[in-house]
Amino acid sequence: MRKDGWVHDSAGTGPRAGGQGSVKSVGKPSDGGRSSKQGRSRVRRFSCRSSAVRTSYTLIMLFLVASTAVGGCGKGEEGAAKVKIAVDILPLAQVCSSLGGDLVYVEVLVPPGSSPHTYELTPGQVEFLSEADIVVVNGLGLAPWAEEIPLRVENPRLKVINAGERIPVGDLIPISNSLDFHEQHQESGAERSLNYDPHFWLDPVLMAPVAEALGNALIDVDPDHASAYRENLQAFLQGLDALHDEIRTRTGAFTHRDFIAFHSSWTYFARRYGLRQLGVIEERPGKEPSSQEIAELVKLAREQGVVAIFAERQFNPRVAEVVAEETGGEVRVFTLDPLGDPGDPARADYFSLMRYNLGIMEEALR
C-alpha cells in the first residue's frame, strides 16, 4: 500500500491576485499527526508549536510540544530521519509526497494564490533550503529564482532535480510558436531555456518521466527505503494512466474545443486532448494587453465562435472580464487553477486538481 506524507505550505496563504503570502517560520518537521497508509495524499498547514497549548492544560501541552520539537521533528518511521524536500510549486510537491509518504517532509515554496513567476523566497525558506536533502524546481523559466537556489544557498549536499529537464525535447512546446509548428519541428539535444513553455505538469502523460526522476532521487538519498519508493512510484504511475484515460474520455465529449486563456498555462493540456487555445490575454505575466490587442481578441472570439475564456486564480481576472464583456455576452469567463491549494480538498493534490479543472472545462465547453 502507498503511504502518503504531508505537504507543508511554508510561506502561508497569499492574496488571490498574485501577491506574496504572509511569512511564517519554516520550523523543523514534526512526527505528530503522521499520515495513514491510504492512497490519497493529505495536506496540512505546518507548525511545530501545537495550537492546543491553551487554557488549563498550558504547562502540560508546552512540555509535550517541546518534547516533540526536540525529539520528533524530522523523524519518520521508527525514529529515522525524514528526507527533507523543498519544491517550488504544489503539483510537483504532491508527487514527492505521494512517492515518499511518511519517509519525507515536503516544503512548498510558492504559497497558494501567488504566482511562481514573480515570487521571492522568505528568509525562513532560505534557512530550510540550507538543511534540505533535495530541491525540486519546475524549470524552463517558470520561476527563475528557483533555478538559482543552488547558487544562493550554502548546502553542498543538496540534490537538485530540474523537472523540465526530464521532459524529452520533442515533447516540449516552443513558447513563441504555435502547436502546428511544434508538430512539424522535432528538436534533439537542444538546450533547455526560456524558449519552451514551462507548464508541462498540466499534461499527466508528461508527468510520468518527472515522477520516475523524483523516485530515483529519493532512492539515491535514502537507499534503505528503496523498495517503498519503487512501490509508491508504480502506484503513482498507474494513477497517471487512469487520469489520462479519464480526461481523454471526458474531453472527447466536449461540443466546443476552442478557448482563450488569460495565461498560456493550458497549451500542453490542449495539445494532448485535442483542444485549441486560440489566444492568450497576457503573453507574459504582468504585461497587460493594449486596447488594440483586446480588440483583436474580441474579434477572434466572435469569428471563431469562442464561448469561454479561462482565467486563473493566481491573476486578477478583470482584463478577461473586459474581453468577455466586449463580445456582448457571447463569451463567459471561467476560473481555472493550474497550481492548487493545500487548504481546499478539491485542489489539494495533483489528481484532484486536474479533475477540478476538468470539471470547470466541462461546464465551459460542453
Task: Evaluate if residue 147 carries a pLDDT over 80.
Answer: yes
Is 48 within the bounds of a domain? yes
With bands split at pLDDT 50, 70 and 90, how would you rate the model's confidence at 178? Answer: very low
Question: 253, exposed or middle or buried, with CB in 10 Å at 0-12, 13-18, 19+?
Answer: exposed
Amino acid 286: pLDDT: 67
Quick one: 95 and 209 in the same domain?
A: yes
Distance CA 188, CA 234 (A): 28
Domain that holds residue 345: 250-365
Across residues 232-259, what is the average pLDDT?
98
Is 146 within the bounds of a domain? yes
Bin 301: left if φ > 0, else alpha if -120 < ψ < 50, else beta.
alpha
Which residue in the block uniquely carries the three cell numbers 517558470? 142
Residue 159 is inside which H or E element, if any? Answer: strand 159-162
Is 55 within the bounds of a domain? yes
Quick one: 227 and 295 in the same domain?
A: no
Best mean pLDDT range from 27-41, 77-91, 177-191, 229-243: 229-243
The domain that holds 16 is classified in CATH as 3.40.50.1980
Quick one: 88 and 229 in the same domain?
A: yes
Quick one: 61 and 163 in the same domain?
A: yes
321-366 per-position pLDDT tens digit: 999 999 988 899 999 999 999 899 999 999 999 999 999 999 999 8
Task: Evaluate if residue 18 carries a pLDDT over 70.
Answer: no
Task: Evaluate if residue 169 carries a pLDDT over 90.
Answer: yes
Helix 291-304 and helix 318-326, axial crossing angle in degrees, nearest 10: 50
pLDDT top residue among 316 and 310: 310
With bands split at pLDDT 50, 70 and 90, how would you rate the model's confidence at 212? Answer: very high
Is 327 within the bounds of a domain? yes
Q: In this prediction, what percent of the chain has a pLDDT beyond 70?
A: 72
Q: What pTM, to 2 d.p., does this model score?
A: 0.76
Which of 223, 246, 269 terminates a domain? The answer is 246
With bands split at pLDDT 50, 70 and 90, how would you rate the model's confidence at 77? Answer: low
Quick one: 88 and 146 in the same domain?
A: yes
Is 167 within the bounds of a domain? yes
Cα dihedral 33, 38, 43, 49, rounded to 10, equals 0
Is 1 within the bounds of a domain? no
Quick one: 237 and 261 in the same domain?
A: no
Which of 246, 265, 281 terminates a domain? The answer is 246
Cα angle value 18/105/132 (rounded, 5°): 85
Quick one: 89 and 175 in the same domain?
A: yes
Give phi and psi for 73, each to the nearest 5: -60, 130
Which of 246, 264, 287 terminates a domain? The answer is 246
The sign of the torsion formed by the CA atoms of 141, 143, 145, 150 equals: negative
Task: Evaluate if residue 57 carries a pLDDT over 50.
Answer: no
pLDDT top residue among 263 and 8: 263
Quick one: 188 and 200 in the same domain?
A: yes
Amino acid 259: pLDDT: 97
Amino acid 316: pLDDT: 81
Q: Rg of the Cα trace of the chain?
A: 21
Q: In this prediction, what percent of the chain has a pLDDT beyond 90?
A: 61
Quick one: 61 and 109 in the same domain?
A: yes
Distance CA 115, CA 142 (A): 10
Average pLDDT, the chain: 79
Give phi and psi for 114, each to the nearest 5: -95, 155
Give phi and psi for 312, each to the nearest 5: -135, 150
Distance CA 292, CA 289 (A): 8
Amino acid 101: pLDDT: 96
Is 321 within the bounds of a domain? yes
**How many angstroms separate the Cα of 154 from the Cα of each of 26, 324, 326?**
17, 49, 52
Quick one: 342 and 286 in the same domain?
A: yes
Quick one: 288 and 236 in the same domain?
A: no
Q: Total structural domains in the chain?
A: 2
Amino acid 213: pLDDT: 98
Quick one: 334 and 231 in the same domain?
A: no
Across residues 155-176, what is the average pLDDT?
94
